A and B are shown apart, each in its own frame.
Chain A
Amino acid sequence: MSDAIISVRDLHKWYSGVHALKGVTLDFKRGEALGLVGDNGAGKSTLINILSGVHRADQGEIKVEGRAVSIATPRDAMDLGIETIYQYNSMVPTMSIARNLFIGREPTRFSVLGVGILDQKKMAEESVRAIANVDLHLRSPDALVGELSGGQRQGVAIARAMHFKSKVMILDEPTNHLSVKETNKVIGFVRGLKEQGVTGVFISHNMHHVFECCDRIVAMARGEVVLDKRIGDTSIDEVHGVL
Protein backbone atom coordinates (compact mmCIF):
# COMPACT_ATOMS: atom_id res chain seq x y z
CA MET A 1 0.00 0.00 0.00
CA SER A 2 2.51 2.60 -1.08
CA ASP A 3 -0.12 5.21 -1.87
CA ALA A 4 -1.44 5.29 1.70
CA ILE A 5 -0.43 8.48 3.45
CA ILE A 6 -1.82 7.32 6.77
CA SER A 7 -2.53 3.71 7.55
CA VAL A 8 -4.16 2.60 10.71
CA ARG A 9 -4.06 -1.00 11.91
CA ASP A 10 -6.30 -2.60 14.52
CA LEU A 11 -6.88 0.57 16.53
CA HIS A 12 -8.66 0.21 19.89
CA LYS A 13 -9.86 2.86 22.29
CA TRP A 14 -11.64 2.49 25.60
CA TYR A 15 -13.15 5.38 27.53
CA SER A 16 -13.47 4.02 31.05
CA GLY A 17 -15.62 1.06 30.10
CA VAL A 18 -16.89 2.27 26.72
CA HIS A 19 -15.18 0.41 23.89
CA ALA A 20 -15.27 3.29 21.41
CA LEU A 21 -12.99 1.82 18.73
CA LYS A 22 -12.98 -1.93 18.20
CA GLY A 23 -10.07 -2.68 15.94
CA VAL A 24 -10.25 -0.12 13.15
CA THR A 25 -8.08 -0.78 10.13
CA LEU A 26 -8.08 1.85 7.41
CA ASP A 27 -5.86 3.37 4.74
CA PHE A 28 -6.07 7.04 3.89
CA LYS A 29 -4.86 7.33 0.31
CA ARG A 30 -2.75 10.21 -0.85
CA GLY A 31 -4.67 12.97 -2.56
CA GLU A 32 -8.02 11.40 -1.91
CA ALA A 33 -11.03 13.02 -0.27
CA LEU A 34 -12.46 10.48 2.12
CA GLY A 35 -15.90 10.86 3.64
CA LEU A 36 -16.35 9.39 7.10
CA VAL A 37 -19.95 8.78 8.10
CA GLY A 38 -21.81 7.01 10.89
CA ASP A 39 -24.41 7.50 13.57
CA ASN A 40 -23.86 9.47 16.77
CA GLY A 41 -21.36 7.66 18.93
CA ALA A 42 -20.05 5.47 16.09
CA GLY A 43 -16.49 6.46 16.92
CA LYS A 44 -15.68 8.88 14.09
CA SER A 45 -14.45 11.66 16.33
CA THR A 46 -12.58 9.17 18.49
CA LEU A 47 -10.69 7.93 15.44
CA ILE A 48 -9.73 11.38 14.23
CA ASN A 49 -8.92 12.60 17.75
CA ILE A 50 -6.34 9.86 17.90
CA LEU A 51 -4.90 10.91 14.55
CA SER A 52 -4.78 14.55 15.61
CA GLY A 53 -3.09 13.86 18.95
CA VAL A 54 -6.00 14.85 21.21
CA HIS A 55 -6.42 11.28 22.50
CA ARG A 56 -4.15 8.26 22.44
CA ALA A 57 -5.09 4.83 21.18
CA ASP A 58 -4.99 2.02 23.72
CA GLN A 59 -3.86 -0.47 21.12
CA GLY A 60 -2.98 -0.56 17.44
CA GLU A 61 -0.54 0.95 15.00
CA ILE A 62 -0.44 4.16 12.99
CA LYS A 63 1.86 4.66 10.02
CA VAL A 64 2.38 7.97 8.28
CA GLU A 65 3.94 7.65 4.82
CA GLY A 66 5.01 4.12 5.67
CA ARG A 67 6.69 5.01 8.95
CA ALA A 68 5.32 3.87 12.30
CA VAL A 69 4.63 6.97 14.39
CA SER A 70 3.53 7.85 17.87
CA ILE A 71 1.17 10.83 18.01
CA ALA A 72 1.14 11.98 21.62
CA THR A 73 0.16 15.63 21.27
CA PRO A 74 -1.59 17.88 18.75
CA ARG A 75 1.83 19.28 18.01
CA ASP A 76 3.11 15.85 16.96
CA ALA A 77 0.21 15.53 14.54
CA MET A 78 0.81 18.99 13.09
CA ASP A 79 4.50 18.25 12.68
CA LEU A 80 3.52 15.17 10.68
CA GLY A 81 1.36 17.36 8.44
CA ILE A 82 -1.98 16.36 9.92
CA GLU A 83 -4.25 19.37 10.52
CA THR A 84 -7.66 19.07 12.09
CA ILE A 85 -10.57 21.44 11.82
CA TYR A 86 -13.32 20.98 14.36
CA GLN A 87 -16.84 22.23 14.40
CA TYR A 88 -16.17 24.69 17.21
CA ASN A 89 -12.74 24.61 18.69
CA SER A 90 -10.50 25.77 15.89
CA MET A 91 -10.35 29.49 16.57
CA VAL A 92 -10.04 31.86 19.49
CA PRO A 93 -12.83 34.41 19.01
CA THR A 94 -11.16 37.12 21.11
CA MET A 95 -8.10 37.21 18.86
CA SER A 96 -7.52 38.62 15.39
CA ILE A 97 -7.44 36.53 12.25
CA ALA A 98 -3.70 37.08 11.85
CA ARG A 99 -3.03 36.00 15.43
CA ASN A 100 -5.27 32.97 15.06
CA LEU A 101 -3.54 31.81 11.92
CA PHE A 102 -0.27 31.47 13.77
CA ILE A 103 -1.34 30.24 17.23
CA GLY A 104 1.36 27.92 18.47
CA ARG A 105 3.47 28.45 15.34
CA GLU A 106 4.19 32.17 15.50
CA PRO A 107 7.10 33.41 13.42
CA THR A 108 9.58 34.98 15.83
CA ARG A 109 12.75 37.00 15.81
CA PHE A 110 15.48 36.21 18.34
CA SER A 111 13.78 33.47 20.26
CA VAL A 112 15.25 31.96 23.39
CA LEU A 113 14.03 28.55 24.54
CA GLY A 114 11.10 28.79 22.17
CA VAL A 115 9.93 32.18 23.41
CA GLY A 116 10.59 35.16 21.19
CA ILE A 117 9.48 38.44 19.70
CA LEU A 118 6.67 38.10 17.19
CA ASP A 119 7.52 38.93 13.62
CA GLN A 120 4.36 40.95 13.16
CA LYS A 121 5.22 42.15 9.69
CA LYS A 122 5.60 38.59 8.47
CA MET A 123 2.39 37.58 10.23
CA ALA A 124 0.45 40.38 8.56
CA GLU A 125 1.83 39.66 5.09
CA GLU A 126 1.47 35.93 5.27
CA SER A 127 -2.02 36.05 6.68
CA VAL A 128 -3.18 38.23 3.81
CA ARG A 129 -1.73 35.72 1.38
CA ALA A 130 -3.06 32.69 3.25
CA ILE A 131 -6.58 34.08 3.22
CA ALA A 132 -6.40 35.03 -0.44
CA ASN A 133 -5.14 31.56 -1.33
CA VAL A 134 -8.34 29.91 -0.21
CA ASP A 135 -10.40 32.54 -2.00
CA LEU A 136 -11.76 34.00 1.21
CA HIS A 137 -12.73 37.63 1.05
CA LEU A 138 -12.17 39.36 4.35
CA ARG A 139 -11.68 43.02 5.02
CA SER A 140 -8.55 42.74 7.09
CA PRO A 141 -6.50 40.17 8.95
CA ASP A 142 -6.79 42.40 12.00
CA ALA A 143 -10.50 41.72 12.37
CA LEU A 144 -11.40 39.62 15.40
CA VAL A 145 -12.42 36.06 14.65
CA GLY A 146 -15.42 36.62 16.92
CA GLU A 147 -16.75 39.02 14.29
CA LEU A 148 -16.74 36.40 11.52
CA SER A 149 -19.60 34.18 10.49
CA GLY A 150 -19.32 30.44 11.11
CA GLY A 151 -18.44 29.78 7.48
CA GLN A 152 -15.77 32.46 7.41
CA ARG A 153 -14.25 30.98 10.55
CA GLN A 154 -14.03 27.58 8.92
CA GLY A 155 -12.51 29.29 5.90
CA VAL A 156 -9.81 30.81 8.09
CA ALA A 157 -9.18 27.43 9.72
CA ILE A 158 -8.76 25.90 6.29
CA ALA A 159 -6.50 28.75 5.20
CA ARG A 160 -4.38 28.08 8.27
CA ALA A 161 -4.08 24.39 7.49
CA MET A 162 -3.18 25.13 3.87
CA HIS A 163 -0.65 27.74 4.88
CA PHE A 164 1.21 25.26 7.03
CA LYS A 165 1.30 22.84 4.13
CA SER A 166 -0.73 20.15 5.71
CA LYS A 167 -0.65 16.82 3.92
CA VAL A 168 -3.82 15.54 5.52
CA MET A 169 -6.69 17.79 6.47
CA ILE A 170 -9.32 16.36 8.75
CA LEU A 171 -12.63 18.20 9.03
CA ASP A 172 -14.91 16.97 11.82
CA GLU A 173 -18.46 18.13 11.06
CA PRO A 174 -17.27 21.51 9.77
CA THR A 175 -20.64 22.38 8.31
CA ASN A 176 -22.80 22.09 11.43
CA HIS A 177 -24.85 25.20 12.09
CA LEU A 178 -23.79 26.79 8.82
CA SER A 179 -26.20 28.30 6.33
CA VAL A 180 -26.68 26.55 2.99
CA LYS A 181 -24.51 29.09 1.24
CA GLU A 182 -21.69 28.74 3.75
CA THR A 183 -21.96 24.98 3.70
CA ASN A 184 -21.47 25.04 -0.04
CA LYS A 185 -18.42 27.14 0.42
CA VAL A 186 -16.89 24.62 2.83
CA ILE A 187 -17.73 21.78 0.46
CA GLY A 188 -16.00 23.77 -2.25
CA PHE A 189 -12.92 23.95 -0.04
CA VAL A 190 -12.92 20.18 0.44
CA ARG A 191 -13.18 19.67 -3.30
CA GLY A 192 -10.34 22.10 -3.86
CA LEU A 193 -8.01 20.12 -1.60
CA LYS A 194 -7.33 17.55 -4.29
CA GLU A 195 -5.92 20.13 -6.69
CA GLN A 196 -3.53 21.21 -3.97
CA GLY A 197 -2.47 17.62 -3.44
CA VAL A 198 -3.90 17.48 0.06
CA THR A 199 -5.61 14.41 1.43
CA GLY A 200 -8.98 15.28 2.95
CA VAL A 201 -11.00 13.50 5.62
CA PHE A 202 -14.50 14.89 5.82
CA ILE A 203 -16.87 13.90 8.61
CA SER A 204 -20.53 14.74 8.20
CA HIS A 205 -23.98 13.51 9.03
CA ASN A 206 -25.25 14.81 5.73
CA MET A 207 -24.84 12.06 3.15
CA HIS A 208 -25.49 14.42 0.28
CA HIS A 209 -22.60 16.62 1.28
CA VAL A 210 -20.30 13.64 1.51
CA PHE A 211 -21.31 12.33 -1.89
CA GLU A 212 -20.85 15.79 -3.34
CA CYS A 213 -17.23 16.29 -2.41
CA CYS A 214 -15.59 12.93 -1.63
CA ASP A 215 -13.98 10.20 -3.71
CA ARG A 216 -14.44 7.43 -1.21
CA ILE A 217 -16.78 6.74 1.64
CA VAL A 218 -16.12 4.91 4.87
CA ALA A 219 -19.00 4.15 7.20
CA MET A 220 -18.53 3.35 10.88
CA ALA A 221 -20.96 1.80 13.35
CA ARG A 222 -20.38 0.91 17.00
CA GLY A 223 -16.64 1.42 16.75
CA GLU A 224 -16.05 -0.56 13.58
CA VAL A 225 -15.72 0.13 9.89
CA VAL A 226 -18.77 -1.38 8.22
CA LEU A 227 -18.40 -0.11 4.67
CA ASP A 228 -15.51 1.18 2.59
CA LYS A 229 -16.20 1.94 -1.08
CA ARG A 230 -15.51 4.37 -3.89
CA ILE A 231 -18.31 6.90 -4.28
CA GLY A 232 -19.01 5.57 -7.79
CA ASP A 233 -19.51 2.03 -6.49
CA THR A 234 -22.12 2.81 -3.87
CA SER A 235 -25.18 4.89 -3.21
CA ILE A 236 -26.71 6.86 -0.39
CA ASP A 237 -29.23 4.09 0.09
CA GLU A 238 -26.56 1.43 0.46
CA VAL A 239 -24.68 3.52 3.05
CA HIS A 240 -27.88 4.18 4.98
CA GLY A 241 -28.55 0.45 4.86
CA VAL A 242 -25.39 -0.51 6.75
CA LEU A 243 -25.74 2.11 9.49
Chain B
Amino acid sequence: MKRLFKTYLEKPELAGLILLVLLIILFQVRSHGVFLNQDNLRGILGILPEAGLVAIGVTILMISGEFDLSVGSVFALMPMTMAVLMVHGWPFPLALLAGLLVSAAIGFINGYITIRFAIPSFITTLGMLFMARSLTVVVSGGFPPLLPADLPNWLFTSFVGPGNMFRMSFLWFAAVALLTSLMLSRTNFGNWIKATGGFLPAAAAMGIPTARVKIVCFMLCSVLSGFAGMLQVLRLGSPLPSIGEGMELQAVASAVIGGASLLGGIGTVMGGIIGTTLIRVIDNGLVLSHVDANWFKFAIGFLTIFAVVANAWMRKRAKAIKMEG
Protein backbone atom coordinates (compact mmCIF):
# COMPACT_ATOMS: atom_id res chain seq x y z
CA MET B 1 0.00 0.00 0.00
CA LYS B 2 2.78 2.42 0.94
CA ARG B 3 4.56 1.76 -2.28
CA LEU B 4 1.40 2.44 -4.21
CA PHE B 5 1.01 5.86 -2.65
CA LYS B 6 4.62 6.73 -3.19
CA THR B 7 4.34 5.79 -6.84
CA TYR B 8 1.22 7.88 -7.03
CA LEU B 9 2.97 10.97 -5.69
CA GLU B 10 5.74 10.54 -8.20
CA LYS B 11 3.43 9.77 -11.09
CA PRO B 12 0.25 11.79 -10.65
CA GLU B 13 -0.94 10.77 -14.12
CA LEU B 14 -1.14 7.11 -13.14
CA ALA B 15 -4.80 7.19 -12.03
CA GLY B 16 -5.81 8.75 -15.35
CA LEU B 17 -3.88 6.12 -17.26
CA ILE B 18 -5.58 3.27 -15.42
CA LEU B 19 -8.96 4.85 -16.07
CA LEU B 20 -8.09 5.26 -19.73
CA VAL B 21 -7.23 1.59 -20.12
CA LEU B 22 -10.44 0.56 -18.35
CA LEU B 23 -12.55 2.81 -20.57
CA ILE B 24 -10.91 1.54 -23.73
CA ILE B 25 -11.71 -2.03 -22.69
CA LEU B 26 -15.28 -1.03 -21.81
CA PHE B 27 -15.90 0.74 -25.11
CA GLN B 28 -14.26 -2.01 -27.08
CA VAL B 29 -16.68 -4.51 -25.56
CA ARG B 30 -19.73 -2.25 -25.75
CA SER B 31 -19.08 -1.38 -29.39
CA HIS B 32 -18.51 -5.02 -30.35
CA GLY B 33 -14.95 -4.39 -31.41
CA VAL B 34 -15.58 -1.30 -33.51
CA PHE B 35 -13.83 1.04 -31.09
CA LEU B 36 -10.31 -0.24 -31.69
CA ASN B 37 -10.68 -0.92 -35.38
CA GLN B 38 -8.50 0.94 -37.79
CA ASP B 39 -11.01 3.46 -39.10
CA ASN B 40 -12.15 4.53 -35.69
CA LEU B 41 -8.62 4.80 -34.32
CA ARG B 42 -7.66 6.90 -37.30
CA GLY B 43 -10.50 9.23 -36.50
CA ILE B 44 -9.48 9.62 -32.88
CA LEU B 45 -5.77 10.00 -33.62
CA GLY B 46 -6.52 12.50 -36.36
CA ILE B 47 -8.09 15.04 -34.04
CA LEU B 48 -6.24 14.24 -30.83
CA PRO B 49 -3.21 16.43 -31.68
CA GLU B 50 -5.32 19.58 -31.78
CA ALA B 51 -6.75 19.31 -28.27
CA GLY B 52 -3.56 17.60 -27.12
CA LEU B 53 -1.24 20.46 -28.02
CA VAL B 54 -3.48 22.92 -26.22
CA ALA B 55 -3.57 20.64 -23.18
CA ILE B 56 0.24 20.41 -23.14
CA GLY B 57 0.50 24.20 -23.00
CA VAL B 58 -2.18 24.55 -20.37
CA THR B 59 -0.63 21.79 -18.25
CA ILE B 60 2.83 23.35 -18.29
CA LEU B 61 1.37 26.74 -17.46
CA MET B 62 -0.61 25.19 -14.63
CA ILE B 63 2.55 23.59 -13.25
CA SER B 64 4.10 27.05 -13.18
CA GLY B 65 1.13 28.15 -11.10
CA GLU B 66 -1.01 30.01 -13.67
CA PHE B 67 -4.09 29.59 -15.86
CA ASP B 68 -4.96 30.44 -19.44
CA LEU B 69 -8.59 30.75 -20.45
CA SER B 70 -7.75 32.44 -23.75
CA VAL B 71 -6.38 29.32 -25.47
CA GLY B 72 -9.61 28.64 -27.39
CA SER B 73 -9.64 32.16 -28.78
CA VAL B 74 -5.98 32.05 -29.76
CA PHE B 75 -6.77 28.71 -31.39
CA ALA B 76 -9.11 30.61 -33.73
CA LEU B 77 -7.19 33.88 -34.04
CA MET B 78 -3.88 32.36 -35.16
CA PRO B 79 -5.19 30.56 -38.29
CA MET B 80 -7.50 33.48 -39.05
CA THR B 81 -4.51 35.81 -39.02
CA MET B 82 -2.72 33.45 -41.38
CA ALA B 83 -5.70 33.13 -43.69
CA VAL B 84 -6.20 36.87 -43.98
CA LEU B 85 -2.50 37.43 -44.65
CA MET B 86 -2.48 34.71 -47.31
CA VAL B 87 -5.50 36.30 -48.97
CA HIS B 88 -3.32 39.41 -49.18
CA GLY B 89 -0.68 37.42 -50.97
CA TRP B 90 1.63 36.41 -48.14
CA PRO B 91 3.32 33.06 -48.71
CA PHE B 92 2.46 30.27 -46.27
CA PRO B 93 5.76 30.23 -44.30
CA LEU B 94 5.63 33.97 -43.64
CA ALA B 95 1.99 33.82 -42.68
CA LEU B 96 2.78 30.92 -40.35
CA LEU B 97 5.54 32.94 -38.73
CA ALA B 98 3.24 35.93 -38.32
CA GLY B 99 0.53 33.74 -36.80
CA LEU B 100 2.96 32.26 -34.31
CA LEU B 101 4.23 35.73 -33.43
CA VAL B 102 0.68 36.95 -32.80
CA SER B 103 0.13 33.96 -30.52
CA ALA B 104 3.39 34.58 -28.69
CA ALA B 105 2.49 38.25 -28.26
CA ILE B 106 -0.84 37.32 -26.72
CA GLY B 107 0.91 34.96 -24.32
CA PHE B 108 3.35 37.70 -23.42
CA ILE B 109 0.56 40.19 -22.76
CA ASN B 110 -1.29 37.63 -20.62
CA GLY B 111 1.82 36.99 -18.56
CA TYR B 112 3.06 40.53 -18.34
CA ILE B 113 -0.26 41.97 -17.17
CA THR B 114 -0.82 39.14 -14.72
CA ILE B 115 2.57 39.64 -13.10
CA ARG B 116 2.99 43.39 -13.43
CA PHE B 117 -0.35 44.15 -11.81
CA ALA B 118 -0.39 41.07 -9.57
CA ILE B 119 -3.86 40.02 -10.68
CA PRO B 120 -5.09 36.43 -11.03
CA SER B 121 -4.34 35.00 -14.48
CA PHE B 122 -7.90 33.73 -14.41
CA ILE B 123 -9.04 37.34 -14.88
CA THR B 124 -6.36 38.45 -17.35
CA THR B 125 -6.94 35.52 -19.64
CA LEU B 126 -10.72 35.71 -19.27
CA GLY B 127 -10.45 39.22 -20.67
CA MET B 128 -8.15 37.94 -23.39
CA LEU B 129 -10.63 35.17 -24.22
CA PHE B 130 -13.16 37.83 -25.27
CA MET B 131 -10.66 40.18 -26.88
CA ALA B 132 -8.92 37.57 -29.02
CA ARG B 133 -12.26 36.06 -30.09
CA SER B 134 -13.54 39.47 -31.05
CA LEU B 135 -10.36 40.20 -33.01
CA THR B 136 -10.80 36.93 -34.85
CA VAL B 137 -14.26 37.88 -36.04
CA VAL B 138 -13.17 41.43 -36.88
CA VAL B 139 -10.16 40.44 -38.99
CA SER B 140 -12.21 37.76 -40.75
CA GLY B 141 -14.41 40.57 -42.02
CA GLY B 142 -17.56 38.68 -41.11
CA PHE B 143 -17.15 35.62 -43.29
CA PRO B 144 -14.29 33.13 -43.49
CA PRO B 145 -11.62 34.03 -46.07
CA LEU B 146 -10.86 31.45 -48.74
CA LEU B 147 -7.69 29.44 -48.17
CA PRO B 148 -5.30 29.22 -51.12
CA ALA B 149 -5.17 25.82 -52.84
CA ASP B 150 -1.44 25.18 -52.59
CA LEU B 151 -1.13 24.70 -48.82
CA PRO B 152 1.55 22.37 -47.46
CA ASN B 153 -0.97 19.81 -46.24
CA TRP B 154 1.62 17.10 -46.71
CA LEU B 155 3.47 18.64 -43.80
CA PHE B 156 0.52 18.95 -41.43
CA THR B 157 -2.57 16.94 -42.23
CA SER B 158 -1.81 14.17 -44.72
CA PHE B 159 -2.19 10.60 -43.58
CA VAL B 160 1.07 8.70 -43.09
CA GLY B 161 2.43 5.62 -41.41
CA PRO B 162 1.47 1.94 -41.56
CA GLY B 163 -2.07 1.64 -42.89
CA ASN B 164 -2.19 5.44 -43.13
CA MET B 165 -2.88 5.37 -39.43
CA PHE B 166 -1.73 8.86 -38.49
CA ARG B 167 -1.97 12.33 -39.82
CA MET B 168 1.23 14.35 -40.00
CA SER B 169 -0.21 16.48 -37.20
CA PHE B 170 0.22 13.50 -34.94
CA LEU B 171 3.96 13.52 -35.55
CA TRP B 172 4.13 17.21 -34.67
CA PHE B 173 2.14 16.46 -31.57
CA ALA B 174 4.42 13.56 -30.60
CA ALA B 175 7.52 15.68 -31.16
CA VAL B 176 6.18 18.56 -29.09
CA ALA B 177 5.07 16.15 -26.36
CA LEU B 178 8.51 14.58 -26.24
CA LEU B 179 10.39 17.88 -26.23
CA THR B 180 8.21 19.56 -23.61
CA SER B 181 8.28 16.45 -21.49
CA LEU B 182 12.06 16.40 -21.58
CA MET B 183 12.17 20.11 -20.92
CA LEU B 184 10.08 19.67 -17.81
CA SER B 185 11.92 16.67 -16.39
CA ARG B 186 15.44 16.98 -17.69
CA THR B 187 16.39 20.64 -17.95
CA ASN B 188 17.13 23.30 -15.40
CA PHE B 189 14.35 25.39 -16.90
CA GLY B 190 11.90 22.60 -16.09
CA ASN B 191 13.17 22.67 -12.53
CA TRP B 192 12.49 26.41 -12.39
CA ILE B 193 8.94 25.93 -13.68
CA LYS B 194 8.20 23.35 -10.99
CA ALA B 195 9.84 25.44 -8.29
CA THR B 196 7.99 28.59 -9.35
CA GLY B 197 4.64 26.84 -9.26
CA GLY B 198 5.48 24.65 -6.27
CA PHE B 199 6.35 27.47 -3.90
CA LEU B 200 6.96 30.89 -5.37
CA PRO B 201 8.69 32.51 -2.36
CA ALA B 202 11.29 29.75 -2.19
CA ALA B 203 11.94 29.88 -5.92
CA ALA B 204 12.34 33.66 -5.80
CA ALA B 205 14.59 33.47 -2.74
CA MET B 206 16.83 31.02 -4.59
CA GLY B 207 17.30 33.53 -7.37
CA ILE B 208 14.99 32.04 -9.99
CA PRO B 209 13.58 34.72 -12.32
CA THR B 210 10.02 33.63 -11.54
CA ALA B 211 8.35 36.38 -13.56
CA ARG B 212 10.30 35.44 -16.66
CA VAL B 213 9.65 31.74 -16.12
CA LYS B 214 5.91 32.36 -15.94
CA ILE B 215 5.87 34.65 -18.96
CA VAL B 216 7.71 32.03 -21.00
CA CYS B 217 5.08 29.46 -19.95
CA PHE B 218 2.27 31.81 -20.95
CA MET B 219 3.92 32.33 -24.33
CA LEU B 220 4.51 28.61 -24.86
CA CYS B 221 0.87 27.91 -24.03
CA SER B 222 -0.37 30.52 -26.51
CA VAL B 223 1.96 29.42 -29.29
CA LEU B 224 0.97 25.77 -28.92
CA SER B 225 -2.72 26.75 -28.95
CA GLY B 226 -2.30 28.86 -32.05
CA PHE B 227 -0.38 26.10 -33.79
CA ALA B 228 -3.08 23.60 -32.84
CA GLY B 229 -5.71 25.93 -34.27
CA MET B 230 -3.82 26.05 -37.54
CA LEU B 231 -3.76 22.24 -37.66
CA GLN B 232 -7.51 22.16 -37.26
CA VAL B 233 -8.09 24.75 -39.96
CA LEU B 234 -5.85 22.86 -42.37
CA ARG B 235 -7.75 19.68 -41.57
CA LEU B 236 -11.15 21.30 -42.06
CA GLY B 237 -10.01 23.41 -45.00
CA SER B 238 -11.65 26.60 -43.81
CA PRO B 239 -10.82 29.15 -41.07
CA LEU B 240 -14.07 29.46 -39.11
CA PRO B 241 -13.99 32.23 -36.50
CA SER B 242 -15.87 30.05 -34.03
CA ILE B 243 -13.42 27.15 -33.70
CA GLY B 244 -11.97 26.40 -30.29
CA GLU B 245 -14.96 27.63 -28.31
CA GLY B 246 -15.07 25.86 -24.96
CA MET B 247 -11.59 24.49 -25.57
CA GLU B 248 -10.08 26.34 -22.61
CA LEU B 249 -12.20 24.45 -20.13
CA GLN B 250 -11.61 21.09 -21.78
CA ALA B 251 -7.89 21.77 -21.63
CA VAL B 252 -8.07 22.58 -17.93
CA ALA B 253 -10.11 19.40 -17.44
CA SER B 254 -7.45 17.41 -19.34
CA ALA B 255 -4.66 18.76 -17.18
CA VAL B 256 -6.54 18.12 -13.98
CA ILE B 257 -7.70 14.64 -14.98
CA GLY B 258 -4.06 13.95 -15.81
CA GLY B 259 -3.06 14.79 -12.25
CA ALA B 260 -1.92 18.40 -12.50
CA SER B 261 -2.56 20.43 -9.37
CA LEU B 262 -4.59 23.62 -9.66
CA LEU B 263 -2.23 25.10 -7.09
CA GLY B 264 0.82 24.58 -9.28
CA GLY B 265 4.01 22.59 -8.87
CA ILE B 266 2.54 19.19 -9.66
CA GLY B 267 1.77 17.68 -13.05
CA THR B 268 3.28 16.16 -16.15
CA VAL B 269 2.99 16.62 -19.90
CA MET B 270 2.06 12.95 -20.13
CA GLY B 271 -0.78 13.56 -17.68
CA GLY B 272 -2.21 16.34 -19.85
CA ILE B 273 -2.05 14.03 -22.86
CA ILE B 274 -3.71 11.19 -20.99
CA GLY B 275 -6.43 13.59 -19.87
CA THR B 276 -7.03 14.74 -23.43
CA THR B 277 -7.08 11.18 -24.72
CA LEU B 278 -9.60 10.24 -22.05
CA ILE B 279 -11.90 13.03 -23.17
CA ARG B 280 -11.59 12.05 -26.82
CA VAL B 281 -12.12 8.39 -26.00
CA ILE B 282 -15.24 9.17 -24.00
CA ASP B 283 -16.57 11.41 -26.78
CA ASN B 284 -16.02 8.73 -29.38
CA GLY B 285 -16.92 5.77 -27.19
CA LEU B 286 -20.29 7.19 -26.19
CA VAL B 287 -21.26 7.62 -29.81
CA LEU B 288 -20.16 4.11 -30.71
CA SER B 289 -22.03 2.65 -27.76
CA HIS B 290 -25.18 4.44 -28.95
CA VAL B 291 -25.42 6.52 -25.83
CA ASP B 292 -27.17 9.88 -26.26
CA ALA B 293 -24.31 12.26 -27.21
CA ASN B 294 -25.61 14.83 -24.77
CA TRP B 295 -24.13 12.75 -21.97
CA PHE B 296 -20.66 13.71 -23.17
CA LYS B 297 -20.34 16.92 -21.20
CA PHE B 298 -21.84 15.24 -18.18
CA ALA B 299 -19.15 12.56 -18.34
CA ILE B 300 -16.33 15.09 -18.69
CA GLY B 301 -17.68 17.15 -15.81
CA PHE B 302 -18.07 14.13 -13.60
CA LEU B 303 -14.61 12.90 -14.46
CA THR B 304 -13.03 16.26 -13.65
CA ILE B 305 -14.61 16.50 -10.22
CA PHE B 306 -13.87 12.85 -9.58
CA ALA B 307 -10.22 13.29 -10.57
CA VAL B 308 -9.68 16.27 -8.30
CA VAL B 309 -11.43 14.67 -5.35
CA ALA B 310 -9.49 11.45 -5.88
CA ASN B 311 -6.23 13.34 -6.15
CA ALA B 312 -6.88 15.30 -2.98
CA TRP B 313 -7.80 12.14 -1.14
CA MET B 314 -4.77 10.24 -2.39
CA ARG B 315 -2.47 13.07 -1.38
CA LYS B 316 -3.95 13.20 2.08
CA ARG B 317 -3.68 9.45 2.50
CA ALA B 318 -0.12 9.47 1.22
CA LYS B 319 0.75 12.14 3.74
CA ALA B 320 -0.93 10.30 6.60
CA ILE B 321 1.02 7.16 5.75
CA LYS B 322 4.25 9.13 5.79
CA MET B 323 3.41 10.56 9.20
CA GLU B 324 2.86 7.07 10.59
CA GLY B 325 6.02 5.65 9.12
Contact = CB atoms under 8 A, between A and B. Distances in A.
Interface of A: 52-54, 73-75, 78, 84, 86, 88-95, 99, 102-106, 108, 111, 114-118, 120, 144, 146-147
A95 B188 contact: no
Contacts of A91: 199, 202
15 contacts: A52-B205, A73-B207, A74-B204, A84-B205, A90-B202, A92-B203, A93-B198, A93-B199, A94-B194, A94-B265, A103-B208, A104-B208, A115-B189, A118-B187, A147-B322
Interface string B185-215: 0111111101100110111111110000000
A95 B188 CA distance: 13
Contact of B188 (A52, A78, A92, A115): A115
A130 to B, nearest CB: 15
Contacts of B132: none
Given A73-B207, A89-B202, A89-B205, A144 B187 contact: no
B187 A92 contact: no
A99 B189 CA distance: 12
Interface string B8-32: 0100000000000000000000000
A223 B72 CA distance: 52
A92 B202 CA distance: 6
Given A103-B206, A104-B208, A94 B188 contact: no
Nearest to A108: B188
Contacts of A117: 186-187
Interface in B142-171: none
B205 A54 contact: yes
B266 interface: yes
B258 to A, nearest CB: 16
Nearest to B194: A95
Contacts of B190: 118
B187 A116 contact: yes
A51 B186 CA distance: 33
Interface string B308-325: 000000000001001000
A78 B204 CA distance: 12
Sort A-B residue pairs by CB-CB distance and give the 7 closest, nearest first: A75-B207, A89-B201, A94-B265, A106-B188, A92-B198, A94-B198, A104-B206
A171 to B, nearest CB: 13
Given A90-B202, A105-B207, 17 more contacts: A52-B205, A54-B204, A78-B206, A84-B205, A89-B205, A90-B205, A92-B195, A92-B199, A93-B198, A94-B261, A95-B195, A95-B198, A95-B265, A102-B191, A103-B206, A104-B195, A106-B191
* Size band of the interface chain B makes with A: 20 to 34
Contacts of B265: 92, 94-95
A89 B199 contact: yes
A54 B207 CA distance: 9
Nearest to A75: B207
B213 to A, nearest CB: 11
A103 B195 contact: yes
Contacts of A78: 206-207
Contact of A116 (B188, B195, B198, B322): B188
B205 A115 contact: no
A41 B144 CA distance: 63
Interface string B207-234: 1100000000000000000000000000
A203 B208 CA distance: 25
Contacts of B207: 53, 73-75, 78, 104-105
A84 B9 CA distance: 29
A213 to B, nearest CB: 23
A157 to B, nearest CB: 9
Contacts of A99: 191, 194-195
Count chain B CB atoms within 10 A of each CB in A88, A90, A103, A117 and give the residue with the most: A103
Contacts of B204: 54, 74
Given A78-B207, A104-B192, A118 B198 contact: no
Interface string B265-293: 11000000000000000000000000000
A146 B201 CA distance: 15
Contact of B199 (A52, A94, A120): A94
Contacts of A120: 186
A111 B205 CA distance: 23
Nearest to B266: A94
B179 to A, nearest CB: 12
A118 to B, nearest CB: 6
A93 B199 CA distance: 7
Nearest to A148: B322
Contacts of A104: 192, 195, 203, 206-208
A104 B213 CA distance: 12
A103 B187 contact: no
B186 A103 contact: no
B202 A118 contact: no
A170 to B, nearest CB: 11
A117 B191 CA distance: 10
Contacts of A103: 191-192, 195, 202-203, 206, 208
B201 A88 contact: yes
Nearest to B63: A94
B188 A111 contact: yes
